[in-house]
Structure 1
Amino acid sequence: MSKNGTYLDVPNDDQYSPGELVSMLAEFFASERHQYELKGEVLSNDYSIAFQYKMSSGHNDTPYRCGAEFITFQGDGAVLISDYYDPTYSESLVKGLSHAITSQKYAKSGLASEQLDNYKERLVKLMAEQKVYLDPEITLPSLAQMVGCSINHLSQAVNSGFSMSFFDFLNSYRIDEAKSILLNQSSLSKSILDVSFASGFNSNSAFYAAFKKSTGQTPAQFRRSIQGLSK
């Protein structure tokens, strides 16, 4: 990887320098042995390589993570590594990595606790008053601009301040919005797909996964349980 290269964690909308990446991976692999399996063919051209992978910890009771990496080259080094993966299959597997990311990433951020609290307050205000989570295209950089801070500081405010990832933070508000719609008797004619889009999700599958993770029920099951109580 070139010294000016960047590693992108796409699901969490985070980016890391080569030094940060090396430090995090060193701590991650020191804590537990992991196995990688190549899935399918490696695709390449003069400027890039793409491949799919499956990562597991070697324990049968531990979920695996499926993902894909796209590596862009310039000269003799990689200038961009983009990692796409399905976070719904990897929560317990990457717990150690998440801890490493948080500790390494923020060790030298220079963000005081008072400023972190200030960013948290601004963030909660944006969610409550402007409901920015309803925008399915919102990203960590765009939200950082609204809060008036750097991407790294906003990431720290969410990860450290609320003990969750950026997407889990947004989805917590979206799920509350969805539950509010489903509880509304005047919205009984709305389809689950309509509720999904009205809550800020851009896909029905993502909505189902996030809703069940939060409530233990699918949106349809939640609606039926509420209807049963109202009879």
Structure 2
Amino acid sequence: MQATEFVHSYLDAWNHSDAVGVANHLSKNGTYLDVPNDDQYSPGELVSMLAEFFASERHQYELTGDVLFNDYSVAFQYKMSSGHNDTTYRCGAEFISFQGDGAVLISDYYDPTYSKSIVNGLSHAISSQKYAKSGLASEQLDSYKERLVKLMAEQKVYLDPEITLPSLAQMVGCSINHLSQAVNSGFSMSFFDFLNSYRIDEAKSILLNQSSLSKSILDVSFASGFNSNSAFYAAFKKSTGQTPAQFRRSIQGLSK
């Protein structure tokens, strides 16, 4: 699903008070983050919360401005009103991180009070695709990056194929939103590309090891932290320009 289609589908679910429809835009292990209230919800928890919300309130959600996106994230601004003739509305913005067609993190920033004016600085935040109101100073960003790199090097947490953004945030000792910002802004890549960069290095190390020649590509895939051979092939070729088998053959050719 394209970014604009995703956003329109997502807002359509909100406009139809479809709690399940909203939650279905999250991946299985995705998280919805209500930033002003500092609350986070899994897909199942989001359904329960929204079912209660929609039972007591009805609103119209309208996209304002452009949908901004890159390879791994989307940002858009919206306004929420009580009806088509309502002259007051609440403004907000959402930042979404993706893996495939599902969102692994939806961060909702909004003005808790009804106002005709957009939250101060919101337009600038969206245009620069930064995390508004995150409160993450550069010193904190560097600290989280250091902890993250240390976890990768010493504990090799990337070898766990089930690791998620929330579980890694807990290990780092920060919020999900701050970890997402640390990865996106600090390393200029998505959470999954960040993990896969370590997994690819691990796979290369195995493939370069002469004692591992008997290992199948599937074995190398699982030993590197991937949970499927297809995901391994796609990530490896994206990183190296070669399939794992081609990489192994090229190394064997050089060693002769």
TM-score of the alignment, normalized to the shorter chain, above 0.5:
yes
CA deviations over 1:94-123 (Å, ceiling 9, x no partner): 999999879456121000100110000000
Distance in 2 (CA, whole Å) between partners of 1:131 and 1:86 is 40
Distance in 2 (CA, whole Å) between partners of 1:195 and 1:88 is 53
1:78 paired with 2:78, answer no
Partners of 1:9 and 1:82 within 8 A in 2: yes
Shift of 1:159: 0.3
Q: Which has the larger radius of gyration?
A: 2
2:117 match: secondary structure: coil
Shift of 1:217: 0.2
Partners of 1:35 and 1:58 within 8 A in 2: yes
Distance in 2 (CA, whole Å) between partners of 1:88 and 1:176 is 48
Distance in 2 (CA, whole Å) between partners of 1:169 and 1:38 is 31
CA deviations over 1:44-93 (Å, ceiling 9, x no partner): 99999999999999999999999999999999999999999999999999
Distance in 1 (CA, whole Å) between partners of 2:86 and 2:220 is 34
Partners of 2:72 and 2:190 within 8 A in 1: no
CA pair 224-5 structure 1, distance change in 2 beyond 3 A: closer
Partners of 1:12 and 1:166 within 8 A in 2: no
Query: Of residues 50, 65, 74 in structure 2, which corresponds to 1:40?
Result: 65
CA pair 147-4 structure 1, distance change in 2 beyond 3 A: closer
Distance in 1 (CA, whole Å) between partners of 2:84 and 2:213 is 44
CA pair 57-185 structure 1, distance change in 2 beyond 3 A: farther
Distance in 2 (CA, whole Å) between partners of 1:90 and 1:196 is 52
Q: Which runs of 5+ in 2 are unaligned?
A: 1-25
Shift of 1:149: 0.4
Partners of 2:203 and 2:220 within 8 A in 1: yes
Shift of 1:210: 0.1
1:94 paired with 2:119, answer yes
1:43 match: secondary structure: strand
Distance in 1 (CA, whole Å) between partners of 2:142 and 2:73 is 42
Partners of 1:192 and 1:220 within 8 A in 2: yes
Q: 4+ residue runs of structure 1 moved beyond 4 angstroms?
A: 1-105
Partners of 2:36 and 2:109 within 8 A in 1: yes
CA deviations over 1:121-176 (Å, ceiling 9, x no partner): 00000000000000000000000000000000000000000000000000000000
CA pair 171-100 structure 1, distance change in 2 beyond 3 A: farther
CA pair 176-21 structure 1, distance change in 2 beyond 3 A: same
CA pair 80-126 structure 1, distance change in 2 beyond 3 A: closer
Deviates more, 1:4-13 or 1:116-125: 4-13
Partners of 1:11 and 1:167 within 8 A in 2: no
Distance in 1 (CA, whole Å) between partners of 2:87 and 2:153 is 37
1:24 match: secondary structure: helix
Q: Which runs of 5+ in 1 are unaligned?
A: none
Deviates more, 1:131-140 or 1:45-54: 45-54
Distance in 2 (CA, whole Å) between partners of 1:132 and 1:173 is 10
Partners of 1:24 and 1:97 within 8 A in 2: no
1:8 match: secondary structure: strand
Equivalent position of 1:57 in the other structure = 82
Q: How many residues align?
A: 231
CA pair 85-174 structure 1, distance change in 2 beyond 3 A: farther
Normalised by the size of structure 1, how large is the TM-score? 0.59
Partners of 2:122 and 2:132 within 8 A in 1: no
Using CA pairs under 8 Å that are at least 6 residues apart, name the structure with larger relative contact order, 1 or 2.
Answer: 1
CA pair 91-226 structure 1, distance change in 2 beyond 3 A: farther
Distance in 2 (CA, whole Å) between partners of 1:193 and 1:63 is 57
Distance in 2 (CA, whole Å) between partners of 1:63 and 1:211 is 51
The RMSD of aligned alpha carbons is: 14.5
